């Protein structure tokens, strides 16, 4: 992210779990886009590795289908024929001690035939329980020196398992070789929080407890668990979304300016936010479960897994002491929306007292992460007319209107950065462990799960959690703004 846009050094990308959904939906389309943009290395190959029996030709055909379905540019003509030549497939079992032998041999041939030059970029797109074994096998086959490895969230399911995973990784790789992906960091709109804060002089003076009353982060999804019952039963909203995506947004909002735009300086500041965060009290957490969840396939009929969670977090720093950070996320909610807003303090007193004017709302600054990506400032204005009456108004920055170009997919950004070896957008070991530590009291003593109606904004208890304040979200495009809440 910090370096100019140019292709990475020659390398072979080895995708473990190549027959899975992540490879199909995200990785292959992202590699294809990078190829079309001329951003793949000169010497390059993608080796798919998975248990499924498949030939290279079948893998190429599958790749074409998934690119057709999920990519912005169609895989056709000379361009596709060239990209196809980069794709290889090897069936294999990680359990077998010989698992990596064939892979090593293939990679050596590719170093010659495709010019990958000994560069190794491992991507674990498998279920997380496979990571330790894959990593150990890479170590045994001595492919680890100089290699890079990407692993997908979740990074453990609590502090202890995160520590175990980190230890397993460090037996084979140095931290500088490890890239923990959280796709929220690849989103333009999340990175733009940094640009907005640190490239604009007007922002810093008001970015603190003196002016900010509370900060909110909402990541609402309209979809349910989409057949992922087995995974979700083990995970739930807190582990799936809060310790990862929502914490990434929170640390970008709350961090101090880094001393430089270097990966470790930026990551130091994120970790400091988590260090200053009070451990989350179960009393300030609401867990919800949508009605009907227990009848989903692979879900226990008496499941207490949460599909919604809302919580309050406090940060003991000079900037944020006493400012509550309210977070909420859930499945089958009213609409798809990821937003974060700073809600500013009320005016000290109403100078319009005694007139017809009442101050209609607090000022809010909202980052619309998705959809309708942009930034919205809500404030109050005089309604045109002969009397002094006030009305809410907005300043609206909208990516589509301003740039008229589709936003780059998060995976494209993250693949490129990891292949270049830039850690800016990846989670560091200490960050992962501290995030789990903050949530430990809730994981050990989770509050009872409350039912909510699909299509709602979660259980009523989530409104009680934030009261007397209210949850703030932007209205859908084209609809009039309703002050303070929906
Ligand atoms: C994933 C979670 O990490 O993020 C999913 O595992 C969730 O449960 C998804 O649906 C949301 O991502 P986005 O980019 O659609 O907000």
Q: Which residue has the tokens 């980190």?
A: 166
- The stretch 200-218 carries a mean pLDDT of 97
- What range does the domain containing 104 cover? 11-152
The CB density around residue 15, as the number of other CB atoms within 10 Å, is: 25
Distance set, CA 315 to CA 183, 197, 366 (Å): 24, 19, 20
- The stretch 98-114 carries a mean pLDDT of 94
Q: Is residue 475 part of a domain?
A: no
Give pLDDT, residue 405: 82
The CB density around residue 104, as the number of other CB atoms within 10 Å, is: 13
Among the ranges given (122-136, 195-209, 351-365), the one the predictor scored with the smallest mean pLDDT: 351-365
Give pLDDT, residue 33: 96
Distance from the Cα of residue 439 to its chain's centroid: 18
**From 183, 217, 225, 337, mutation site for ligand 1 pocket: most ligand atoms within 8 A of C-beta:** 183
- Same domain, yes or no: 318 and 239: yes
Q: pLDDT-based confidence at 301, cuts 50/70/90?
A: very high
Give pLDDT, residue 225: 93
Beta bridge partners of 44: 11
- Same domain, yes or no: 208 and 100: no
- Same domain, yes or no: 33 and 90: yes
The CB density around residue 390, as the number of other CB atoms within 10 Å, is: 18
- The residue that leads in pLDDT, 6 or 10, is 10
pLDDT tens track for 400-425: 999 988 889 999 999 999 999 999 99
Give pLDDT, residue 4: 64
Among the ranges given (73-87, 167-181, 308-322, 346-360), the one the predictor scored with the smallest mean pLDDT: 346-360
Q: Which atom of ligand 1 lies nearest, measured to the CA of 232? A: 8
Give pLDDT, residue 478: 74
Question: Phi and psi for 404 in degrees, rounded to 5?
Answer: 45, 35
Give the CATH number, domain containing residue 72. 3.40.50.720
- Same domain, yes or no: 224 and 346: yes
Residue nearest atom 6 of ligand 1, based on CA coordinates: 240
Give pLDDT, residue 3: 63
Q: Is residue 165 part of a domain?
A: no
**Which of 152, 169, 193 represents a domain boundary (last residue)?**
152
- The stretch 285-309 carries a mean pLDDT of 97
Instruction: Using the Cα atoms of residue 199, residue 205, residue 207 and residue 211 in order, give the sign of their dihedral.
Output: negative
- The stretch 333-338 carries a mean pLDDT of 96
Q: pLDDT-based confidence at 2, cuts 50/70/90?
A: low
Instruction: State yes or no: pLDDT of 481 exceeds 80.
Output: no
Instruction: State yes or no: pLDDT of 357 exceeds 90.
Output: no
Sequence-distant (6+) residues with CB within 8 A of 147 are: 120, 121, 122, 138, 173, 177
Q: Is residue 237 part of a domain?
A: yes
Q: Could you give the percent of the chain with pLDDT greater than 70?
A: 98
Find the DSSP H helices in 214-278: 229-237, 247-254, 263-276
Q: Answer whether 197's CB lies under 8 Å from 206's CB.
A: no
- Same domain, yes or no: 98 and 234: no
Count of structural domains within the chain: 2
How many whole angstroms separate alpha carbon 122 and alpha carbon 62?
20
Exposure of 169 by Cβ count < 10 A (0-12 exposed, 13-18 middle, 19+ buried)?
A: buried
Give the CATH number, domain containing residue 199. 3.30.360.10
- Same domain, yes or no: 121 and 77: yes
How many whole angstroms separate alpha carbon 420 and alpha carbon 147?
12
Q: Is residue 90 part of a domain?
A: yes
CA of 223 to the centre of ligand 1 (A): 10
Give pLDDT, residue 486: 37
CA dihedral 84, 87, 88, 93 (to 10 degrees): -140
The CB density around residue 226, as the number of other CB atoms within 10 Å, is: 10
- The stretch 427-446 carries a mean pLDDT of 98
Per annotation, catalytic residue among 245, 364, 423, 472 = 245
Instruction: State yes or no: pLDDT of 482 exceeds 70.
Output: no
Give pLDDT, residue 21: 92
- Same domain, yes or no: 112 and 251: no
**From 221, 370, 410, 427, mutation site for ligand 1 pocket: most ligand atoms within 8 A of C-beta:** 221
CA of 360 to the centre of ligand 1 (A): 35
Q: Answer whether 8's CB lies under 8 Å from 120's CB.
A: no
Mean pLDDT of the chain: 94
N-to-C CA span, the chain: 37
Q: Is residue 481 part of a domain?
A: no
Give pLDDT, residue 96: 82
Q: Is residue 224 part of a domain?
A: yes
Give pLDDT, residue 27: 97
Q: Residue 440: left (phi > 0), alpha (psi -120 to 50), or beta? A: alpha
CA of 183 to the centre of ligand 1 (A): 8
**Which of 152, 174, 204 represents a domain boundary (last residue)?**
152
- Same domain, yes or no: 18 and 136: yes
Instruction: State yes or no: pLDDT of 277 exceeds 90.
Output: yes
Tokens for 91? Answer: 């069936």
Predicted TM-score (pTM) of the model is 0.94
- Same domain, yes or no: 118 and 190: no
Query: Which residues contact ligand 1 via a Cβ below 6 A?
Result: 221, 240, 338
Among the ranges given (198-212, 242-256, 471-485), the one the predictor scored with the smallest mean pLDDT: 471-485
Q: Answer whether 286's CB lies under 8 Å from 461's CB.
A: yes
Q: Is residue 160 part of a domain?
A: no
- Same domain, yes or no: 365 and 454: yes
Q: Is residue 55 part of a domain?
A: yes
Instruction: State yes or no: pLDDT of 6 exceeds 90.
Output: no
Instruction: Answer yes or no: 245 catalytic.
Output: yes
pLDDT tens track for 358-398: 777 889 999 999 999 999 999 999 999 888 888 999 999 99
Instruction: State yes or no: pLDDT of 211 exceeds 80.
Output: yes
Instruction: Using the Cα atoms of residue 6, residue 8, residue 9 and residue 11 in order, give the sign of their dihedral.
Output: negative
Pairing of strands 364-370, 374-382: antiparallel
- Same domain, yes or no: 206 and 139: no
Instruction: State yes or no: pLDDT of 49 exceeds 80.
Output: yes
Residue nearest atom 4 of ligand 1, based on CA coordinates: 241
- The stretch 210-230 carries a mean pLDDT of 95
Instruction: State yes or no: pLDDT of 355 exceeds 80.
Output: no
Selection from 300, 165, 283 nearest residue 232 by Cα: 300
- Same domain, yes or no: 53 and 132: yes
Tokens for 451? Answer: 């039912």
CA of 115 to the centre of ligand 1 (A): 36
Pairing of strands 285-290, 308-313: antiparallel
Distance from the Cα of residue 166 to its chain's centroid: 20
């Amino acid at each position: 992210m910090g370096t100019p846009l140019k292709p990475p050094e020659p390398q072979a990308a080895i995708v473990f779990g190549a027959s899975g959904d992540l490879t199909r939906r995200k990785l292959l389309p992202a590699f294809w886009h990078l190829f079309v943009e001329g951003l793949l290395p000169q010497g390059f190959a993608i080796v798919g590795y998975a248990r499924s029996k498949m030939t290279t030709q079948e893998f190429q055909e599958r790749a074409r289908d998934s690119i057709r379905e999920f990519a912005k540019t169609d895989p056709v003509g000379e361009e596709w024929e060239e990209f196809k030549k980069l794709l290889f497939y090897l069936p294999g079992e990680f359990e077998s001690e010989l698992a990596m032998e064939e892979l090593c041999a293939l990679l050596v041939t590719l170093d010659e035939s495709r010019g990958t030059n000994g560069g190794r970029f491992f991507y674990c797109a498998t279920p997380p329980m496979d990571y330790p074994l894959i990593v150990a096998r890479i170590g045994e086959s001595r492919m680890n020196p100089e290699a890079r490895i990407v692993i997908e969230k979740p990074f453990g399911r609590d502090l202890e398992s995160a520590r175990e995973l980190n230890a397993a990784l460090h037996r084979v790789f140095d931290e500088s070789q490890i890239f923990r992906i959280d796709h929220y960091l690849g989103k333009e709109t999340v990175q733009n929080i940094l640009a907005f804060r640190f490239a604009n002089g007007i922002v810093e003076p008001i970015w603190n407890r003196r002016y900010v009353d509370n900060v909110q982060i909402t990541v609402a999804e309209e979809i349910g668990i989409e057949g992922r019952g087995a995974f979700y039963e083990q995970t739930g909203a807190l582990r799936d979304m809060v310790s990862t995506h929502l914490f990434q947004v929170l640390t970008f909002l709350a961090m101090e300016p880094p001393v430089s735009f270097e990966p470790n300086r930026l990551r130091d500041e994120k970790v400091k936010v988590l260090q200053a965060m009070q451990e989350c009290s179960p009393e300030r957490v609401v867990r919800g479960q949508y009605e009907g969840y227990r009848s989903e396939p692979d879900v226990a009929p008496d499941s207490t897994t949460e599909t919604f969670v809302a919580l309050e977090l406090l940060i003991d720093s000079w900037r944020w002491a006493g400012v509550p950070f309210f977070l909420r996320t859930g499945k089958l909610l009213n609409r798809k929306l990821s937003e974060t807003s700073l809600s500013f303090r009320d005016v000290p007193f109403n100078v319009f007292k005694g007139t017809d004017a009442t101050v209609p709302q607090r000022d809010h600054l909202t980052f619309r992460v998705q959809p309708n990506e942009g930034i919205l400032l809500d404030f109050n204005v005089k309604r045109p007319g002969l009397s002094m009456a006030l009305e809410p108004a907005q300043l609206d920055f909208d990516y589509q209107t301003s740039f008229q170009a589709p936003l780059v997919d998060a995976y494209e950004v993250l693949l490129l950065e990891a292949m270049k070896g830039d850690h800016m957008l990846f989670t560091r070991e200490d960050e992962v462990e501290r995030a789990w530590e903050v949530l430990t009291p809730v994981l050990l003593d989770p509050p009872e799960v409350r039912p909510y109606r699909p299509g709602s904004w979660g259980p009523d208890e989530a409104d009680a959690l934030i009261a007397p304040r209210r949850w703030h979200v932007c209205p859908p495009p084209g609809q009039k703004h309703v002050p303070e809440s929906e």
